[in-house]
Structure 1
Amino acid sequence: MRKLAMTLFCAAAIQAAAQAPPANPVSVQVDLAKPSGTYKPIYSWFGYDESNYTTMKYGQQLLTELHDLSPAPVYIRAHHLLTSGNGVAELKWSSSNVFSVDANGKPVYDFTITDKTFDEFQKAGVRPVVELGFMPKDLAANVPGVSEYQVRYPKNTISGASNNPPRDYALWGELVRRYTEHLVQRYGKEKVSTWYFEVWNEPDIGYWHGTPEEYYKLYDYAVDGVRKALPNAIVGGPASTGPASEKAAAFLNNFLKHCLNDKSAANGQAVPLDFISFHPKGQPTVIDGHVQMGLSHELKAVAKGFSIVASYPKYAHLPIILSEADPEGCAACSMKVNPANAYRNGPLYPAYTATAIKALFDLQDQYKVNLIAMLSWSFEFEGKDYFEGFRTLSTNGIDKPILNVFRMAGLMSGERVSTSSTGQVSLNDILSSGVRSSDDVDAFATKGDHEAAVMLWNYHDDDVPAAGSEVKVTIAGIPPNVKRVLLEHYRIDDTHSNSYHVWKAMGSPQTPTDAQYAQLKESGQLELLRSPTWLDVSAGKVTVVTALPRQATSLMHLKW
């Protein structure tokens, strides 16, 4: 233990020397008296391909942690809720075997695996986003060139018949009705009425082996089935890819036209649409031997999607769920498979996410739409190496730094308030060229009842060592009757809230001892930079000065 402590101390000293802040501090101004909009828990949404991980050891553990990080409801979206199979998870593959036909061609509905999955959601206290996909084997239509039903990672998981249209749309609608009816009977109408029912996943690419028009028909029959079982169910889609490309933008646009102008293929009535979903993604790469993130790629897709939604007056105020919003597109591709995914284990991922959170709220305000969710497609993978570099929140039960930025966001509440920073990279510059020249040293703040919170970061797309910044944060607008405030300063950086750093200092063990595992568990939690401190308020203001390394994220939580 003494050797490990000395190793950590030396590493911290080296890092501090490499990132010594410059002489001129960045000035951040926060005005609690200037509201800028409601703070919504867009952070409290998560998802994963492998729905069967829900019932496994570390999946159960992580679901409880996700519930506990937020005072708001936490929503979980998973693929393969309707896929045929034995219920054994593999990378990018799961199944429930909910539907089959017997020797006489009669439908058979089996909710055994479904109940295990949804029971764990209820046990953890999280709410499902019920993704209606993929196609059961006995319901899948024949599609030329698609012969095999189950095609699993590392092969192309979207090439199999589980992504085919139904051979009988009425039978598809009846499956969805039966499925929803069962959920209502098991968990109650009141509870299921708070869930979101989303039709399919990314039907504009290989996850759907039909035409856009066939997807519209799939959607119509699905929402008709849901509403027959639960008339007030929240239904929507299309869960298409990020509309930065012309093809993806056209798909989202044409889907909205279908809902607005067409009659349902299922019942001849208006097409229900309660929320709109799509999937913006970033685009990291390796440049000159280091990871370079692609934040602008993700935000451009968001901006385009928001502009499309805003162009429909009837839909402009519908909830928007970014039902996958991530730095790139393959959670199950480890950094061993793709070196650009090396961002996932350390503090770069949280700093990227903090920067994105503010940008998403700013884009919502700019386009006057109603964003409610930035769903992180990240969970955990059972039976994989420690810190193998999957897009996960934890590894073998050890929380990774990324989970702590969501814990920070869960400490924010009330309304968003005005912030400015002399170190900010403007949203327009990020959209056009990312964060590629100077660091983005910026803040996002909220004010609640008797508290305020300032999220602060020093982000750069390039994951290379660089000098940090000294940051002077002035928080004004504190109520005049308040004379002192309690500051709790949380930090994610190379040596705080960072289990990956501790694991590497141990020698990167794949079979840690019980003592090492306990230390890793502890180091994965959100950590205070220093002890809580009472600050004197002068003229409604307090000032906090801090050294902020590159790719570090802070949360200054004030109470009075």
Structure 2
Amino acid sequence: MKKEYKIDETAACQFKNRAGYCVGTGRMGLALQKEYQEQLKLVQEHIGFKYIRGHGIFSDDMGIYQEYEDENGKIIPEYNFTYLDRVMDSYQEMKIKPFLELGFMPQKMAGGEQTVFYWRGNVTPPKSYKAWTDMVQAVLNHLIERYGRDEAVSWPIEVWNEPNLSIFWKDADMEEYFSLFRHTFRAVKEVDEQFQVGGPSICGVDDVNWLRQFLDYCSRNNLMPDFFTRHHYMWSEPVKEGRYSYGKLRDPQEAMEELKVSRTIIDSFRQYQNLPMYITEFNTSYSPDSPVHDSVQNASYVAWLLSRMGEVCDGYSYWTFGDVFEENGVPFSQFHGGFGLVANGAVPKPSFWVFAFFKNLQGRRVHLSDEAVVVQKEDGSYCGVAWNLSFGKQEPLDIELALPCKPGANFCFLQKLVDEEHGNPVKLWHDMGEPSNPSKEQLALLREGAAPWLLTKRLAEEEGYVTAALHLKQDAVVYFELRETEVCSDRGYHIISLNK
């Protein structure tokens, strides 16, 4: 298949690129692990997300909520910030801010025994909402004291995670969640009105009803959330094979329409019109055991999403940055379908490079299609990302972009390619025999094989345009740049291989 586009600069518009807004993590306690820190460092060096969001700030492994018995036998609450400070200090060092998800319930405070995940996050309401709000306020006051008011209030606050699922909130009790939100919202605003608080952090199960009911509840109770949140996954018909989940990718345009419905519902309430909507989790599959996450197919699908999602929401968070993740337990193998952009051993997956590519797309959008986005930077140079989202069809895609330029101009055309043969460490791992626990030497080779393939070419203006040709195999993703160059060869020097 071949697509040809002649770019019209007069049709340029703002590219609402939110690729660097936020990224997900597993439970917060995992940030105490060395491998977690190494993966986050790699992500920040190449992508540089602004926020990071994860579960379990109040789970028992963080140790925040404690109790003791005084001399009269009365139970007295106290708070331990040792691990909280370690995690927040590490985020500060990585130049990433927490997007604070308040959950799950400390076991000693919980009104029930129901838990979720291998690490047993308690998902029941508190025995006492006063105990809950006292803890929330104590944490926020501590964060203000340690990091400064201006910094702390710049951290968004989301109340709970997916309460519309009974595995995350006992009985998916809507009215109980609304009560939790009301108490929490007011407690946070008592600490400082500048804190930005939102919810309901729902996934795509009965989401239309939940969102409408939540907005109606907030309206009736004079609550003015600062933003609204939901999650978005693109997976259907999953089946299990051994330890792993396989499914079908949904039509991405159909999935995008669901987000537009959420936006329309929010704007149907006059007082909430145009307030931010954040997708605080998104990915293809919603299971941390789906090999699609490790694949170039995932990368091409995510590329399509990143080209569009900023048009319907104010920020989005890929779930997750790394494979240090234990919802279903400790993974058995190097590649195991984990959510992460980075595999264990600090090995970037193909989707990692998609975010790195998109983070570079800063400027005026001069082209958007189902297979490419191109922007023009302030200095007049062009860059873009193209992809061949195949849905299993083994058909290559050729794209020809004619970009306007001044007469006589010369250009360096640079490409960074990820496809089945390049920047695809899972293929190299497969060829190695799929070792569950690679040696140091094997990990070093996987990291080397994870790099995109770099190609360059010199191009020249013809009839007012420079023409860039891209060849993409099945599910390939390519980043490209066109920079004007001055040809200044030294007298008598010739590159031998170019003069055969």
How many angstroms apart in 1 are the aligned matches of 2:149 and 2:451?
A: 36
Measure how far apart 1:309 and its partner are. Answer: 2.1
**Conservation of the 8 A alpha-carbon contact between 1:100 and 1:139:** no
Counterpart residue identity of residue 114, structure 1: L
C-alpha change, 1:418 and 1:180, in structure 2 (3 Å) is same
**Conservation of the 8 A alpha-carbon contact between 2:283 and 2:319:** yes
Equivalent in the alignment of 2:386: 456
Measure how far apart 1:388 and its partner are. Answer: 1.7
Q: Does 1:63 align with 2:63?
A: no
**Conservation of the 8 A alpha-carbon contact between 2:321 and 2:342:** no
Measure how far apart 1:186 and its partner are. Answer: 1.4
Q: 2:466 aligns with which of 525, 538, 542?
A: 542
- CA deviation vs aligned residue, 1:36-89 (integer Å, no higher than 9, x gap): 334332444211332222221221012112222336x421101011112xx3xx
Task: For structure 2, list consecutive stretches of 5 or more residues without a partner in the other structure.
Answer: 485-500
Measure how far apart 1:134 and its partner are. Answer: 0.9
C-alpha change, 1:354 and 1:239, in structure 2 (3 Å) is same
Measure how far apart 1:448 and its partner are. Answer: 2.1
Q: 1:260 aligns with which of 219, 244, 256?
A: 219
The RMSD of aligned alpha carbons is 2.5
How many angstroms apart in 2 are the aligned matches of 1:483 and 1:304?
A: 46
C-alpha change, 1:485 and 1:224, in structure 2 (3 Å) is farther
Equivalent in the alignment of 2:188: 226
Counterpart residue identity of residue 408, structure 1: F
Measure how far apart 1:213 and its partner are. Answer: 2.3
C-alpha change, 1:39 and 1:248, in structure 2 (3 Å) is closer
Equivalent in the alignment of 1:403: 352
How many angstroms apart in 1 are the aligned matches of 2:63 and 2:155?
A: 22
How many angstroms apart in 1 are the aligned matches of 2:265 and 2:186?
A: 25
How many angstroms apart in 1 are the aligned matches of 2:227 and 2:59?
A: 24
C-alpha change, 1:481 and 1:473, in structure 2 (3 Å) is closer
**Conservation of the 8 A alpha-carbon contact between 1:223 and 1:272:** no
Equivalent in the alignment of 1:380: 323
How many angstroms apart in 2 are the aligned matches of 1:525 and 1:31?
A: 33
Equivalent in the alignment of 1:359: 308
Measure how far apart 1:549 and its partner are. Answer: 0.8
Which secondary structure does the structure 2 equivalent of 1:171 belong to? helix
Number of aligned residues:
465
Measure how far apart 1:286 and its partner are. Answer: 6.8
Q: Does 1:153 align with 2:153?
A: no
How many angstroms apart in 2 are the aligned matches of 1:474 and 1:498?
A: 30
Q: Does 1:36 align with 2:1?
A: no
Which secondary structure does the structure 2 equivalent of 1:446 belong to? strand
Q: 1:129 aligns with which of 94, 99, 106?
A: 99
Equivalent in the alignment of 1:472: 400
C-alpha change, 1:512 and 1:152, in structure 2 (3 Å) is closer
Counterpart residue identity of residue 393, structure 1: L
Counterpart residue identity of residue 402, structure 2: T
Which secondary structure does the structure 1 equivalent of 2:388 belong to? strand
Equivalent in the alignment of 2:228: 276
- CA deviation vs aligned residue, 1:162-211 (integer Å, no higher than 9, x gap): 11112221221111111111111112222222211111111111211263
Q: Does 1:113 align with 2:39?
A: no
Equivalent in the alignment of 1:100: 66
Equivalent in the alignment of 1:78: 54
Measure how far apart 1:222 and its partner are. Answer: 1.5
Q: 1:416 aligns with which of 365, 377, 392?
A: 365
Q: Does 1:196 align with 2:156?
A: yes
TM-score, normalised relative to structure 1: 0.77
- CA deviation vs aligned residue, 1:287-340 (integer Å, no higher than 9, x gap): 9x9863124463343232122123234323222110011112222xx2xxxxxx
TM-score, normalised relative to structure 2: 0.86
How many angstroms apart in 2 are the aligned matches of 1:81 and 1:116?
A: 12
**Conservation of the 8 A alpha-carbon contact between 1:446 and 1:452:** yes
C-alpha change, 1:255 and 1:467, in structure 2 (3 Å) is same
How many angstroms apart in 2 are the aligned matches of 1:445 and 1:371?
A: 21
How many angstroms apart in 1 are the aligned matches of 2:238 and 2:464?
A: 47
